[in-house]
Structure 1
Amino acid sequence: MRRTTLKELGQSIERKKAELGYSGQDYVARNSGEFRTESKRALLRNIAAAAAERGEESAFKANY
């Protein structure tokens, strides 16, 4: 079994993100949301609406 440290794991993840064209913490997951249930879509819309009412951006970008 190969052992790895958390630091090595973090570096590996950052390398893979760079290979995919993602940088830092500002990237959108490649999930299209195509197979989401309607209840999950409604939940995501409500979260975004609540953030907008507070004058904030949603904590995450979601495809609904």
Structure 2
Amino acid sequence: MRRITLEELGASIERKKAELGYSGQDYVARNSGKYRTESKRALLRNIAAAAAERGEEPTFKANY
């Protein structure tokens, strides 16, 4: 078994994200939300609505 440090793991993840065209934290996961439960969809809509009321963007982008 090969051991790696957390720093090496983090660097590996960042390289993979770069290969896939993602950068930093500003990307939407490839989850389409197709199989999401209605309760989770409602939760995500409520989060987005609450952020909009404050004049902000939600802290994450969600497909729902």
Q: TM-score, normalised by structure 2?
A: 0.97
Q: How does 1:32-51 map to 2 (within 5 A)?
A: 32-51=32-51
Q: How does 1:1-64 map to 2 (within 5 A)?
A: 1-64=1-64
- How big is each residue's C-alpha offset from its partner over 1:14-64, in whole Å with a ceiling of 9 and x where there is no partner? 000011000111111000000001110000000000000011100100000
* CA-atom RMSD in angstroms: 0.5
Q: TM-score, normalised by structure 1?
A: 0.97
Equivalent AA in structure 2 for residue 22 of structure 1 = Y
Equivalent AA in structure 1 for residue 21 of structure 2 = G
- Number of matched pairs: 64
Q: Which runs of 5+ in 2 are unaligned?
A: none
* Partners of 2:17 and 2:37 in 1: CA distance: 28
